[in-house]
Structure 1
């Protein structure tokens, strides 16, 4: 078996790149020959393996390319990337799978077009919603809620919903038009969704005929004894400080519930200032390495993931449960599927500060948080989201794709 994995980034800078790189490594160790096509360096040492052939397109992240016009042009269609991938895919033997992970930052929709023109079987993992939504989040940033419009409809085109500006939205609309054209040229692609919720959101807007598979992202973790959550005090927020992540809801609820809030991550200065206003006692650690993240999780009473958007499948929830720490999640995120309300965490209504506050008040009780943390630990380790499990799912999917099933 052989596959070409396409990822804008050659090193881990987020969830999509991490899954692309770790799946490449896992597939190689399982005996699959992998070509890893990336554009933005550096290249992770995890890709140093006899069965992995790294092919680097010397590209740049789109908004770092010259002026705005040059960046917009490359974002809509990167001709050099198209030529690079076309030549690369022509060299592949029959029976090779093309697996697209991320292309919006450097490769552009030209990556999809090159895959379609190769006539090789194609799989696409949807880490976000750029396969059908111009802004990638299916979220109205101006209204602060999930989108209800049909992507690329008249209502969509007229909506000033982008995080930046309407002009920025129009550039993304042009890119989406090129993406949609390329996607329609694929022959029965396999769309891999990282959660059942993400599949329900995306499937109505994806081209037909196509096939769909739900395959959760893997996480890397060592099994330790469960954390003593009843001895801990702070609620923990992990990740970027952005509107759609619901961090302001977390800040307001923590203050109302009188529970300390610790934030690992960083983001927009205005949002950080608003967090401090809503919760003056909030503790900011900034970004920390993977080992320090585990330490922060194990020192937390719970982890809150109150996203407002239809977050596809954040790995934070699984990583938290693996340490025996309960999570409080919005029901609008894919990872909520792993949370049994009142057993191993709480599921709350997105954007509802009072609902999150009440759950945090429950978490303050030792007789609630202790058993809940143990249940989270047991539930995760009964079916861990390991690399081996993920790779086995990929191999099965690749086999069906090659067989035309």
Structure 2
């Protein structure tokens, strides 16, 4: 079995790149021959493996290529990337080879999908976000600060000024989505790999009818430790970007109303608003990756009140692996892991009062202890290990290859 993995980035700069790289490494160790095609360096040391060959396109991230016009042109269709990938895929052996796209919007453009489809090789796509069908990638109206209610690429969608930046920026993304949709329609029975059951149920109606769908959760690099005694901790924790769709400001208000200490770890444009809403909130910058689990272990609970349909945030699994209770919006992928009221609490998105009530509930030691223990047991009953991820990915590859004419 041989897989050509396509990822904009050759090193970890976010969740999608990390999954692509760690998945490639795990697949190689399981005996799969990997060709890792990336555009933006540097190249991770994790890709240094006898069964991994790296093909570096040496491209740039869209908004770093020069003028805005040049950036827009590359984002809509990267002709150089198309030639690079077409040539690469043409050189691959026809039998037992497939193409697996993880991320293409930052450098490769929809040209990656077109090259994969035209290669004649079976194609899989991991749905890390919603750029497979939504121009802005989140199915979220950033101007209205609300979930989108429009059919992707409908007249209403195209006319709506919903982009985080500006309407002209949205139109560039619409042009890119047009190219992406056109390339998607030409794929012969592609396999979409979703990172949670929730994400699959949400995204499937918007994806090509000829597609097949599986769920393969991302891996969590968690070592089994003694469970945290959450009753010794006082503060709620938010870990991530301070952006409107992640609703850090909603948590700031809810924690203030619940009179619960709260710590925000990350960065983003809402830092000032968090401080205004909750002057007692502790705001810190990012912590190194190796300290994330230690940071979570200091928390009474971890909170993720996202407003958008977040596919599968792994920080929830990281908290559960430590025995730290979680509170999250019920319309996120990770909500499918939580038994509401037993090992965590689910709240409605944007409901500051409901979130405040959940925080107040976890101020009770007996409640926090019981939920933490249940979360720990629930996670370790079926942990999100790399081996689990790799095994299910290989099963997905076999399903894809078995359908090959």
| TM-score (normalizing by structure 1) | 0.99
Aligned length: 403
1:59 aligns with 2:59: yes
Structure 1 counterpart of 2:214: 213
| Secondary structure of residue in 1 paired with 2:355 | helix
Structure 2 counterpart of 1:352: 351
For residues 215 and 291 of structure 1, what CA distance do their matches in structure 2 show?
24
For residues 282 and 61 of structure 1, what CA distance do their matches in structure 2 show?
35
| CA deviation string 1:290-349 (max 9, x = no partner) | 222111100000000000000000011101100110110001100000111111110000
Structure 1 counterpart of 2:91: 91
Q: How does 1:247-262 map to 2 (within 5 A)?
A: 247-262=248-263
| Secondary structure of residue in 2 paired with 1:328 | strand
For residues 327 and 114 of structure 1, what CA distance do their matches in structure 2 show?
42
Structure 1 counterpart of 2:37: 37
For residues 133 and 178 of structure 1, what CA distance do their matches in structure 2 show?
12
Structure 2 counterpart of 1:179: 180
1:385 aligns with 2:391: no
Q: How does 1:294-309 map to 2 (within 5 A)?
A: 294-309=293-308
Structure 2 counterpart of 1:189: 190
Q: Following superposition, which runs of at least 4 residues in structure 1 exceed 4 angstroms of deviation?
A: none
1:133 aligns with 2:134: yes
For residues 113 and 320 of structure 2, what CA distance do their matches in structure 1 show?
36
For residues 42 and 27 of structure 1, what CA distance do their matches in structure 2 show?
21
Structure 1 counterpart of 2:158: 157
For residues 291 and 384 of structure 1, what CA distance do their matches in structure 2 show?
19
Structure 1 counterpart of 2:401: 402
Structure 2 counterpart of 1:275: 274
Q: How does 1:277-296 map to 2 (within 5 A)?
A: 277-296=276-295
Structure 1 counterpart of 2:3: 3
| TM-score (normalizing by structure 2) | 0.99
Structure 2 counterpart of 1:147: 148
For residues 201 and 293 of structure 2, what CA distance do their matches in structure 1 show?
31
Listed as ranges, the gaps of 5+ residues in structure 2 are none
Displacement of 1:11 after TM fit?
Answer: 0.7
For residues 380 and 305 of structure 1, what CA distance do their matches in structure 2 show?
17
Structure 2 counterpart of 1:48: 48
For residues 41 and 286 of structure 2, what CA distance do their matches in structure 1 show?
20
Structure 2 counterpart of 1:27: 27
Question: Aligned-residue CA RMSD in angstroms?
Answer: 0.8
| CA deviation string 1:134-192 (max 9, x = no partner) | 00000011111111100000110111111111100000000000000100111000001
Structure 2 counterpart of 1:375: 374
Structure 1 counterpart of 2:71: 71
